[in-house]
Structure 1
Amino acid sequence: MMKKILLTLFVVVLTGQVFAQTSDDDYTRPLVDVLKKIETEFHVQIKYDSKLIAGKQLKYADWRIQPWSVTKSLQAVLAPFDYTYVMDHGMYKIKPFDYTRMSDAEGKEFIDYLETLYNNKSSWEKRKDELKSCMWQVLKLPVLLSHQPKARVILTPKRKYDGYTVENFALETLPGLYVCGSIYMPSKIKGKCPVMLNPNGHFADGRYRTDEQIRCAMEARMGIIAADWDLFAWGESRLQFNSALHRTSVAGSIQILNAISVLNYLLSLKDVDTTRVGITGGSNGGGTSIMISALDNRITLSIPVVMLTSHFAGGCPCESGLPLQLCGNRTNYAEIAAMFAPKPQLVVSDGHDWTSTVPTLEFPFLQRTYGFYNAVNEVKNVHFPNEGHDYGPSKRKAMYEFTAAHWGLDINRMKDKAGNFDENTVTIEKDPQMYAFGPNGENLPANAIKGKAALTAMLTKIGYYK
């Protein structure tokens, strides 16, 4: 007579493999063994932290391996543990699931899917309106903008340099919450000047770094009124908030609000040409450029640098902590950038970060959307395959030339005898010179809120949290 055995393990041999079979016939095997089998069967290398894999047991192990596809096999094998993989120097690297990142191949599938949603201007405009409405609500901009204090700006005295001036500013964008930055202006203003917003990215030293100062000063020397400002909980914002608050989802809302507030102030100046309004930034600043260009119709020229992609949503919660890219049942930076069509847009990419696929994947997608408006020539891509994640000299040169061409600016006087842009005319300031509230924060307004509790209380009071 057969006895029922509940948790007995026994060995069976099937197609040369050894399995530990339970009474439920779940064909359990150690995950490490399954990965080794995939390596052997597909002739690939798999990289992983042994601590990540140790002790993990996979049910229905070999049923998950699909001999016609290594990627499908890895997806099926890793999903039960909430793991995923990325390509790393020709190897499949195992890592915990990261909702902000996909593989290049998945980015291609994403783009292909989006292209099935619309095929002409009419269907695209409907999609764009849906995305824009959702993004405004996710960021809670209607609530934030309706609770802004009466416009007031704090300005420091101007510093005069070769062809431009600089003055620091502070704007109260919500009750007791300030954003600080600098405004670069041409030394001599004739007629109305175009405006360029320069949102900052996650680069060391923030907006105080040398290349950021060079970019803004050179824009001013071109005849542009340019401005940059601190990320939330960076720079002078740390007089109010610990830097840890930067890596929160609410930072995403505040940073978009700050950008709109800076734009509002700049457009209130008497010397501004409201028909020539641009935005450019690198990395997170590139993401902000893409977002503001999609959300604010006053932007007429956009230059996102080293950020546009279909397969990366931004690694900081200040970028991806809010479900912006869940709008429209999933979107991505490439589609959000397409919302700027048919206005002039330059996408700057490189070969050593997530923008490496732009020339072959995201840019053709942008061209398709611009084509709905017969404006394919209005979108450009400058790609630097041997460069990395920065807003360096070659990328700045591309920005200068694109901006000058579209805004009718004379840039020849900014070049040396060899025809290269002469950035040596820019004076690099020390950090304290760029502070709006004084070298030691002594001029921080009395109503400035401080700390997470005060921020939460203020946002709760105005209805941000419900």
Structure 2
Amino acid sequence: MIRKLLFIAWVLLGMINTSFAQTSDDAFKVPLKDVITQVENRYKVKIRYPEDLVKDRLVTYAGWRFRPSLEETLTNILASQDITFAKEGEGRYKLQNFQYHLKTPLQGKQQLEFLSAFYNDAASWEKRKAELKDCMLQALQLSPLPAKPRSQPIRSNKRIFNGYSVENVALEVLPGLYVSGSLYLPLKSKGKIPVILNPDGHFGDGRYRADAQYRCAVQAQMGAMAFSYDLFAWGESLLQFKPEDHRRALAQTIQALNGIRILDWMLSFKNADPKRVAITGGSGGGSQAMLITAIDPRITLSVPVVMLSSYHSGGCPCESGMGIHLCGGGTNNAEIAAMAAPKPQLFISDGKDWTQQVPEVEFPFVQRIYGFYGKQGMVENRHLPTEGHDYGVNKRLALYDFLAKHFKLNIKKVQDGSGKIDESKVTIEKYPAMYVFGPKGENLPSNAIKSFADLEKVFAESKRN
């Protein structure tokens, strides 16, 4: 009887404690919208947000989450809600859905300091690099590579301009999946010539925009073969997919595979020089430049533009959707870029995006790794503090100089009488001239797939073969 009474008392005590805990928690729950108002009043700032983002959300122990620092307070409050914030100006912030890829600049710097402790010489770095490469290929589902279609490239509408030609090209990357681009070739060349991949980035007008045409045409005028190509579900890829398909995780795999297949084709040219193979791109094209250099040993020089960052991985599933940044216990684009060492590499950064701290943070990190090989001089940084997120003329000029230096290209062919590089001899074309499949897509092959669901099936089947 006594035991029974003790058991009942123990159960009742547990119920009282549980009830008290629940009541206590509930007493300290505050609507997120009210907490935001408290933050605005306490720190004298203005915070904007979509109403749906905060509706019906509660913050537990809200009062205990405040700190002397505004941004630390916002982090403490919003982390519990999977919401992030961004500064828009002095005293102004905005709230946004959780961005899984994004860290703060300080967190990026701290991660590099943490990673640096894992390697102190070439041997320890090579071990880390091998681990990262293997994991990234597995994450991308490109180990082994899927079977390659046996079809020939589709080539059309060759145009002759001042010192170069342009031709529309489409390659079948998987059965029924095509990547479109523009092949730029020098009109006169002797012996082996360099190969340069130019993946497109997240800029308006895609590969048709003027800066992409300038960049590739000048590469050809200097004596290289250059290929500019679409992002997945951009440009002519929209004949097969919807725009929203670009923001699916598999897009990262397809874009990497596109680069590999294009390189396969370009290196099959009799005059292609396998010792001089480069890749350069801006923004999302810069992400591709770093990734493909890390996983494909055929790349011998890389120039990622406005993309090197320890705290920002791109923000698009086509750049981070397959989880490559989780490899090796956690990595970032600075460590991925360092996997190019000791090959020539130029980082072009600016003062108005996430590359603003490259000279002080990311570049020294990468240069240290080049130092393991005694090759610090093979990696450079061209920082443009007053410029923003683009592949503008000053960024292109830095590229041309770097290519001429390491690939022995004839830069004199693109210089004026005063020795300055002159892009004015490049012909900027209208969109239709650059379409592989015709103005309305009428020449798209009959076997072309027409949906993302079909792509998933084709990719899975190609992995089984």
TM-score (norm 2): 0.90
Deviation per CA, 1:300-353: give whole Å up to 9, x if none.
110000111111111222112211111111111111000000110000011111
SS at match of 1:358: coil
**Residue 109 of structure 1 aligns to which amino acid in structure 2?**
Q
Once the two structures are TM-superposed, the CA of residue 456 in structure 1 deviates from its matched residue by 2.7
Deviation per CA, 1:180-213: give whole Å up to 9, x if none.
1111111101111111110111111111111111
Deviation per CA, 1:268-310: give whole Å up to 9, x if none.
0011111111110111111100011111111111000011111
| d(CA) in 2 for partners of 1:355, 1:24 | 42
Match in the other structure for 1:399: 399
| d(CA) in 1 for partners of 2:202, 2:33 | 37
| d(CA) in 1 for partners of 2:24, 2:350 | 54
**Which 5+ residue runs of structure 2 have no aligned equivalent?**
1-14
Match in the other structure for 1:18: none
Moved more, 452-461 or 232-241: 452-461
Match in the other structure for 2:100: 99
| d(CA) in 1 for partners of 2:441, 2:26 | 68
Once the two structures are TM-superposed, the CA of residue 56 in structure 1 deviates from its matched residue by 4.2
- Are residues 54 and 442 of structure 1, via their aligned partners in 2, closer, same or farther at CA, if it must alter by over 3 Å? closer
**Which 5+ residue runs of structure 1 have no aligned equivalent?**
10-20
Match in the other structure for 1:12: none
SS at match of 2:366: helix
Moved more, 116-125 or 30-39: 30-39
Taking the TM superposition and a 5 Å limit, the aligned residue runs for 1:259-274 are 259-274=259-274
| d(CA) in 2 for partners of 1:221, 1:193 | 12
| d(CA) in 2 for partners of 1:121, 1:390 | 34
SS at match of 1:227: strand
| d(CA) in 1 for partners of 2:195, 2:274 | 8
Moved more, 301-310 or 157-166: 157-166
Taking the TM superposition and a 5 Å limit, the aligned residue runs for 1:220-231 are 220-231=220-231
Moved more, 390-399 or 72-81: 72-81
- Are residues 75 and 260 of structure 1, via their aligned partners in 2, closer, same or farther at CA, if it must alter by over 3 Å? same
Match in the other structure for 1:13: none
Deviation per CA, 1:75-122: give whole Å up to 9, x if none.
222222222333332445433321122221221122222112222222
Match in the other structure for 2:124: 123
Once the two structures are TM-superposed, the CA of residue 228 in structure 1 deviates from its matched residue by 1.1
Percent identity, aligned pairs only, is 51
Contact kept in structure 1, 2:309 and 2:334, CA below 8 Å: yes
SS at match of 2:356: helix
| d(CA) in 2 for partners of 1:39, 1:278 | 50
| d(CA) in 2 for partners of 1:266, 1:50 | 48
2:233 paired with 1:233? yes
**Residue 330 of structure 1 aligns to which amino acid in structure 2?**
G
Once the two structures are TM-superposed, the CA of residue 164 in structure 1 deviates from its matched residue by 0.6
**Residue 442 of structure 1 aligns to which amino acid in structure 2?**
E
Displaced runs of 4 or more, over 6 A: 4-9
Once the two structures are TM-superposed, the CA of residue 162 in structure 1 deviates from its matched residue by 0.6
**Residue 106 of structure 2 aligns to which amino acid in structure 1?**
A
Moved more, 439-448 or 52-61: 52-61
2:110 paired with 1:112? no
- Are residues 39 and 372 of structure 1, via their aligned partners in 2, closer, same or farther at CA, if it must alter by over 3 Å? farther
SS at match of 1:327: helix
Moved more, 49-58 or 239-248: 49-58
2:418 paired with 1:415? no
Total equivalences in the alignment: 448
Once the two structures are TM-superposed, the CA of residue 7 in structure 1 deviates from its matched residue by 12
| d(CA) in 2 for partners of 1:345, 1:226 | 18
- Are residues 296 and 8 of structure 1, via their aligned partners in 2, closer, same or farther at CA, if it must alter by over 3 Å? closer
- Are residues 411 and 463 of structure 1, via their aligned partners in 2, closer, same or farther at CA, if it must alter by over 3 Å? closer
Contact kept in structure 2, 1:306 and 1:348, CA below 8 Å: yes
Once the two structures are TM-superposed, the CA of residue 31 in structure 1 deviates from its matched residue by 3.9
SS at match of 2:381: strand
Contact kept in structure 1, 2:221 and 2:413, CA below 8 Å: no
| d(CA) in 1 for partners of 2:411, 2:462 | 46
Match in the other structure for 2:11: none
**Residue 63 of structure 1 aligns to which amino acid in structure 2?**
W
Match in the other structure for 1:86: 86
| d(CA) in 2 for partners of 1:172, 1:419 | 42
| d(CA) in 2 for partners of 1:54, 1:138 | 36
Deviation per CA, 1:216-255: give whole Å up to 9, x if none.
0000000011111111122222222222222211111111
- Are residues 44 and 373 of structure 1, via their aligned partners in 2, closer, same or farther at CA, if it must alter by over 3 Å? farther
- Are residues 65 and 166 of structure 1, via their aligned partners in 2, closer, same or farther at CA, if it must alter by over 3 Å? same
Moved more, 32-41 or 160-169: 32-41
| d(CA) in 1 for partners of 2:191, 2:206 | 32
SS at match of 1:360: coil
**Residue 122 of structure 2 aligns to which amino acid in structure 1?**
K
- Are residues 405 and 30 of structure 1, via their aligned partners in 2, closer, same or farther at CA, if it must alter by over 3 Å? same
- Are residues 129 and 413 of structure 1, via their aligned partners in 2, closer, same or farther at CA, if it must alter by over 3 Å? same
Match in the other structure for 1:177: 177
Contact kept in structure 1, 2:313 and 2:332, CA below 8 Å: yes
Match in the other structure for 1:345: 345
| d(CA) in 1 for partners of 2:177, 2:310 | 33
SS at match of 1:94: strand
Taking the TM superposition and a 5 Å limit, the aligned residue runs for 1:179-194 are 179-194=179-194
| d(CA) in 1 for partners of 2:259, 2:56 | 49
| d(CA) in 1 for partners of 2:28, 2:328 | 40
Once the two structures are TM-superposed, the CA of residue 24 in structure 1 deviates from its matched residue by 5.2
- Are residues 23 and 253 of structure 1, via their aligned partners in 2, closer, same or farther at CA, if it must alter by over 3 Å? closer
RMSD: 2.5
- Are residues 454 and 119 of structure 1, via their aligned partners in 2, closer, same or farther at CA, if it must alter by over 3 Å? same
- Are residues 327 and 77 of structure 1, via their aligned partners in 2, closer, same or farther at CA, if it must alter by over 3 Å? same
Contact kept in structure 2, 1:307 and 1:355, CA below 8 Å: yes
Contact kept in structure 2, 1:236 and 1:435, CA below 8 Å: yes
Once the two structures are TM-superposed, the CA of residue 65 in structure 1 deviates from its matched residue by 2.8
Contact kept in structure 2, 1:6 and 1:23, CA below 8 Å: no
| d(CA) in 1 for partners of 2:96, 2:44 | 17
SS at match of 2:232: coil
| d(CA) in 1 for partners of 2:236, 2:32 | 49
| d(CA) in 1 for partners of 2:376, 2:314 | 27
| d(CA) in 2 for partners of 1:381, 1:300 | 17
Match in the other structure for 1:153: 153
